[in-house]
Chains A and B, each alone.
Chain A
């Protein structure tokens, strides 16, 4: 195994992690600030991807598609929050899970109604197709590099939003004591709608960016949703920093596990059973990681123990 192959895999892990971060940032904020388990977060990811595909094929511009994905997911988020989610904050988690699971079914069926059951076409823009030559002879996809850069920019933006702005102060306050912040005269329901829309927009953007290199189809959000839950459990619920660290840990573990484990078993097993055991074990790796983190820190890496 060469060093450049290893570094390329690290970049791949980072790209996967950054994508997971966009997905889990919204999920962890909504869970942390509002105490809501939102299973329909994956549907917002799907809505973003479908909006991008539809607008990109209509206008011919990938970038307009990206803008459309942000807007469509945010608007869907606002509508869902006002019409349904708002009624669930005071209910227990089982009611929330049931209601948001119903939303998954509704959104999936709606997308099939509008766009049909077959996957849609969304391709990367001309300017980002092809590869970038990096030092050490690494050839890396320009588009994946863009995902990494965009993801890091958004992470930096979110950190400054949470730590430096007035809105961030309110979000943090809402996280630790929502009755008190309401008593201080902050319009808590507007704050909630805003946070929900922000999370939705990030999920939509992730869906659109990933849709261009994967496939835009009904049900694309649910596998990612499961990973996003793993990320926020590892990172600690409600923590943006935890979501970032957790996402990158999961991204690296999954990518490097898929790559290294089969070659590791080949050292002392015959190739076919090494491939078998390696592939089976690598698909379990992130869950093993999650279990290990929970044994070591039961509330996640950056979780708030006081809660």
Chain B
């Protein structure tokens, strides 16, 4: 009996020692400098690469990949959402469950972001938005895993409203498509604009013909027009507006005047003022390098979307330099520091993980044979967003 007890005791002691050793070993592993492998991350990019609006997704992707050139720590899986929310949701599920990505990014359209982002961040994934910034995700629906590297949707429109005041516009006609970003756009414009509204129209998303709206603008007695019609929608509107013979000043966010579509609008866009957080002529080292590298790599001028993709990748790389994506608290902290050279110059995150940055007013000009933009004024200095106080993280 005694022998049995001794044996049991020895066994017990041995277990304790083993436990101690293993605990020691474990803490040693933690205390050791992080191995190179831990700086690796797998990124899932869901973006629009085919169909209408594919120019935007292609620019975000190209900018993102350009920044990661020569960086072997970040593996990127790219899928095309075809601008359809249901497909974006399927792709996100696939990337999280079978591809096992650590970070998601890439979505262009706010309605797709609303379908994908809340579910992804609730499953513990980090989401870095290179474009869409719906108000619902900046205010009450904010999340510690969701970082917006572009802007809150309202921002560029707020700057347009401010610009309208400075030009003395008193009676604007305003127009946007009927989807989350369209509502954010008109709300944003009205937040800073002090004049009256001659009219307010929500158009169909994807609408190409604006004859009915242009007739109403003509009849409204407006003194200026503000519109948010991203991608191909804006091409149609600008051409038809120029044809209509209505001689009113037009102001809008950069989304209808980006490098990808200006050539298709042509002379109809000359002289139009538009607001943007980025422009190709911004004079800082990161931007000069970005514009030159982008042109060398792809043979075309970058758009603001490309700059957003580029900044997103650089932000990610900066966080991975010091931490591992497996230690999410530290990783989030590293992201929030925004310790990277942004193409926009000064860039930092507010408490709701949305940017604080300058918004510029640009004018469409012609350089040689190419239509492009140049900065004519700073619209808003160090602008954050209107939803910070609603966000409880």
Are the C-beta atoms of A119 and B178 separated by less than 8 Å? no
A280 to B58 Cα, complex, angstroms: 31
Determine the residue in chain A with the shortest Cβ distance to B215.
Answer: A8
**Is B351 an interface position by the 8 A CB rule?**
no
Chain B nearest Cβ from A262, distance in angstroms: 7
User: Can you show 21 pairs from A to B with CB atoms below 8 A apart?
Assistant: A5-B218, A5-B219, A13-B212, A117-B55, A129-B243, A131-B244, A139-B244, A141-B243, A212-B239, A213-B209, A214-B235, A214-B239, A215-B236, A217-B232, A219-B54, A223-B206, A223-B208, A255-B212, A262-B201, A275-B201, A279-B201
**Bound complex: CA A130 to CA B247 (Å):** 12
- 19 extra interface residue pairs, beta carbon distance < 8 Å, beyond A118-B263, A141-B240, A279-B202: A5-B216, A5-B218, A8-B218, A9-B212, A9-B215, A15-B211, A108-B50, A112-B50, A117-B49, A118-B260, A119-B235, A121-B264, A143-B243, A212-B239, A213-B243, A214-B208, A217-B264, A220-B208, A258-B213
In the assembled complex, the CB of A147 is this many whole angstroms from the nearest CB of chain B, namely: 10
Interface pair A283/B55, CB less than 8 Å apart: no
Known A-B contacts A117-B54, A218-B51; A12 and B212 likewise in contact (beta carbons under 8 Å) = yes
Asked if A123 lies at the interface with its beta carbon under 8 angstroms from chain B, I say: yes
Which B227-283 residues sit within 8 Å CB-CB of chain A?
Answer: 232, 235-236, 239-240, 243-245, 260-261, 263-268
Instruction: Tell me the bound Cα distance from A12 to B210 in angstroms.
Output: 9
Residues of chain B in range 17-53 having any CB-CB distance to chain A below 8 Å: 49-52
Q: Which residues of B contact A262 (CB under 8 A)?
A: 201
**Cα-based distance from A275 to B174 in the complex (angstroms):** 12
CB proximity to A under 8 Å, residues B192-223: 200-204, 206, 208-209, 211-213, 215-216, 218-219
Of all chain B residues, the one with the shortest Cβ separation from A15 is B211
Residue numbers in A under 8 Å from B203 (CB-CB): 258, 279
The docked-state distance in angstroms from the alpha carbon of A12 to that of B206 is 18
**A-B Cβ contacts below 8 A, count:** 128
**A-B residue pairs, 10 tightest by C-beta:** A215-B235, A219-B51, A119-B264, A12-B211, A214-B236, A279-B202, A214-B208, A215-B232, A5-B219, A131-B245
For B235, the chain A residues whose CB sits under 8 A away are: 119, 214-215
Q: How far is the CA of A201 from the CA of B154 in the complex (A)?
A: 44
Chain B residues within 8 Å of A, Cβ to Cβ: 49-52, 54-55, 58, 178, 200-204, 206, 208-209, 211-213, 215-216, 218-219, 232, 235-236, 239-240, 243-245, 260-261, 263-268
A191 is an interface residue with CB less than 8 A from chain B:
no
* Contact (Cβ within 8 A) B178 A16: no
- A276 within 8 A of partner (CB): yes
Q: Is the CB of B212 within 8 A of A213?
A: no
Which residues does A use to contact B, with CB under 8 Å?
A: 1-2, 4-5, 8-9, 12-13, 15-16, 108-109, 112, 117-121, 123-124, 129-131, 139, 141, 143-144, 210, 212-220, 222-223, 255, 258-259, 262, 271-272, 275-276, 279-280, 283
- Contact status B211-A16, CB under 8 Å: yes
Nearest-CB residue, chain A, relative to B182:
A279
Residues of A within 8 A of B178 (CB): 276, 279-280, 283
Point out the residues of chain A lying under 8 angstroms from B264, CB to CB: 118-121, 215-217
Which B residue's beta carbon lies closest to that of A260? B212
How far is A271 from B266 in the complex, measured between Cα atoms in Å?
Answer: 35
A118 & B215 in contact (Cβ 8 Å cutoff): no
Asked if B211 and A144 sit within 8 Å, CB to CB, the answer is: yes
- Chain B residues contacting A131 (CB-CB under 8 Å) are 243-245
Smallest Cβ distance from A4 to chain B, in angstroms?
8
Q: Which residues of B contact A139 (CB under 8 A)?
A: 218, 244-245
A-chain residues with CB within 8 Å of residue B243 when the two chains form the complex: 124, 129-131, 141, 143, 213
> Which residue on B lies nearest to A2, using beta carbons?
B219
Task: List residues of chain A with CB within 8 A of the CB of B50.
Answer: 108-109, 112, 218-219
A283 to chain B, nearest CB (A): 5
Nearest B residue (CB) for A13: B212
Contact A259 B216 (CB under 8 A): yes
A117 touches B58 (CB 8 A): yes
Residue among B218, B232, B263 facing the most chain A CB atoms (10 A cut-off) = B232
Known contacts: A220-B52, A275-B202. The answer to whether A121 contacts B236 by CB under 8 A is no
B23: shortest Cβ distance to chain A, in Å? 56
Residue of A nearest to B240 (CB): A213
A4-B260 Cα distance, complex, nearest whole Å: 38
Tell me the nearest residue of chain A to B56, going by C-beta. A117
Q: Which residues of chain B have C-beta atoms less than 8 A from A215's C-beta?
A: 208, 232, 235-236, 261, 264
Q: How far is the CB of B198 from chain A (nearest CB, A)?
A: 12
